[in-house]
Amino acid sequence: MKRFLSILLSLATLVSVAACSAPASSSVAPASAAASASTEAPAATELDVLKIGVAALPDTMDPIIKVGNTGIRVQYNVFETLILCDQQDNSAKKPMLAESWKRIDDNTLEFTLRKGVRFHNGDELKASDVVFSMNRLKEGIANSELAASLMSTVKEAKAIDDYTVQIITDVVDPILEDRLASSWGSWIMPESYVKQVGNDGFAAKPVGTGPFKVVSFSPQSIVLERFDDYWGEKPNVKRIEYILYPETSSRMTALMTGEVDIITQLPPDQIATIEKEPGLNVVGQNITNLHVLIYNTKSAGMQDKKLRQALNLAIDRQALADTLWGGRAVVPHGHQYPEFGTLYDDTFPIEEYNPEKARQLVSESSYNGEVLEYELKSGYYTFGNEAAEAIVAMWKEIGVNAQIVFRDTKEYNNVSNWSNTMRFPDPSAGLWLLWGPGSTPAENTWLDMPQEFIDAGKEMSSIIDPVRRKALSKKLMTIWREEAPGALLYYPYESWGIRDGLEWTPYSSQAMDFRAGNFKLAK
């Protein structure tokens, strides 16, 4: 009955052995020029080059197309929003490209833009650029659906003069400021440049207002350079290089030999390996993200929700969290995030593990032994491969056959792995945004979404009453659990390996912020 636990233990051992096979730290000089300076020289205050080893790179630099963990690492330093969501200050909303804003009426926010803000091509930021950026989300650009859904309540943007712009919604939107500060779909882009080079040209060589500009973009690396005309405080690093190392062991080797200064997605079982290396450290936290599965509710073998419910009941999430993640991953209370604050419902039950009930549901369902395809991109998510193998074994225990298929591009035939990142701290930016109309599941797999789910989400996103909004959030989670268009797994724990001498704090959003306020050389 617990055969999958031995599989988990074997998988965890294999991961550990593979990563531990990396050579020990050598005397190779650190990647950054400043780190190799003589101890006799005055302490450096800025870095020439910061090298970051990443597990994956975005395949486009257009921020409304690449909305996810691979893109946000880079985009956060290149583009900016009207309002800052300050992740160093409990997500407080502060001025960014707008120096101030005010409510004109229930449906209108008016912004006063900073004067003298320059895009990387030299153009000055104007209200027309804000209007263009909001309108661009409505153009139906391929793969921009998620970013567009983030700003779905925006009816229009109107330039009052060069430095004054109004954002007008078609409903009362209690969280419009959060949407505009989200750093996921509300980036401001230069109208004249995008029109000049076209969408494809912009995706290859983007221009923003951030402290760093893109100078090189390829499948193997992305290079940013400090933007000398940046309106804010100058960063403490001149050049950032994001370098692709798909395998955990290769990223660890690069850090230990000094090829890079920071690495992403360090598995929990390898934290001790890095921490015992002289000159290296680890920073980590649970991120505002849920690892999930998507079920195609119209595909062969998956139409019966009893089968989908059985698949969910058969997953021992706590075993996954304990065995793969060393207890650091957290099983959720439904599809929500603690960052919702007072709108977070800690009474909503955690995901149930009940294999006996699962077997009964399988016997009652229309499932006839079909082999379900469980697809994923190998190595994309930390422990994604290992979790897939364990889950397939758990399903076999209840009489369901599944087969793992690795693909770089998902086809959504039966089961696909995914992750859901909170876009801003409100229920509208969780389950509703990520699974409601216009979302990836709505367009590909959950084509029979119940109308009551749609109605509840629309109401929640258009009223101010917090008690009613919390009740509607619970209703959405209840419907989602009953219909089972997917499965929740856990909040993952992300770790970053970093060399000593660098002071940098990762964000739970997975943005890698290298602005002056979040990155400096240790004294």
Tokens in use for 206? Answer: 């983007």
In terms of phi and psi (left: phi > 0; alpha: psi -120 to 50; beta: otherwise), the region of 333 is beta
| Alpha carbon 349 to its chain's center | 25
Report the alpha-carbon angle 417-445-66, nearest 5: 60
Residue 235: closest CA among 76, 121, 365? 76
Which pLDDT score, from 0 to 100, does residue 43 have?
63
Strands 47-54 and 237-244: parallel
Q: What 3-state DSSP class applies to 140? A: coil
DSSP conformational letter for 444 = H
Q: How far is Cα 451 from Cα 437, in angstroms, rounded to an integer?
A: 11
Phi, psi of 58 (to 5 degrees): -65, 145
Strand-pair partners of 291:
419, 490
One pLDDT digit (tens) per residue for the chain, 523 residues: 444 545 554 554 444 433 333 333 333 334 444 444 444 555 678 999 999 999 999 999 999 997 778 899 999 999 999 999 998 888 889 999 999 999 999 899 999 999 999 999 999 999 999 999 999 999 999 988 888 888 888 999 999 999 999 999 998 888 899 999 988 889 999 999 999 999 999 999 999 999 999 999 999 999 999 999 999 999 999 999 999 999 999 999 999 999 999 999 999 989 999 999 999 999 999 999 999 999 999 998 899 999 999 999 999 999 999 999 999 999 999 999 999 999 999 999 999 999 999 999 999 999 999 999 999 999 889 899 999 999 999 999 999 999 999 999 999 999 999 999 898 889 998 999 899 998 889 999 999 999 999 999 999 988 989 999 999 999 999 999 999 999 999 999 999 999 999 999 999 888 999 999 999 998 7
pLDDT of residue 8: 52
| 196: enclosing H helix or E strand | helix 191-204
| Helix-helix angle 305-313:355-364, to 10 degrees | 160
- Between the alpha carbon of residue 73 and those of residues 53, 55, 139, 240, 521, the distances in Å are 12, 11, 25, 11, 20
* C-alpha–C-alpha distance, residues 236 and 49, integer Å: 10
pTM of the complete model beyond 0.85? no
- Measuring CA to CA, which residue among 63, 81, 67, 80 is closest to residue 217? 63
- What whole-number distance in Å separates Cα of residue 248 and Cα of residue 139? 39
Listing DSSP states for 332-381 in one string gives -SSS--GGGGGG--TTSPPPP--HHHHHHHHHHSS--SPEEEEEE-TTSS
> Count of alpha carbons within 13 Å of 123, Cβ hemisphere only?
18
Q: What is the DSSP letter of 125?
A: P
Enumerate domains of the chain plus CATH numbers: 41-75+210-266+496-521 (3.40.190.10), 80-197 (3.90.76.10), 288-490 (3.10.105.10)
Contact 208, 183 (CB under 8 A): no
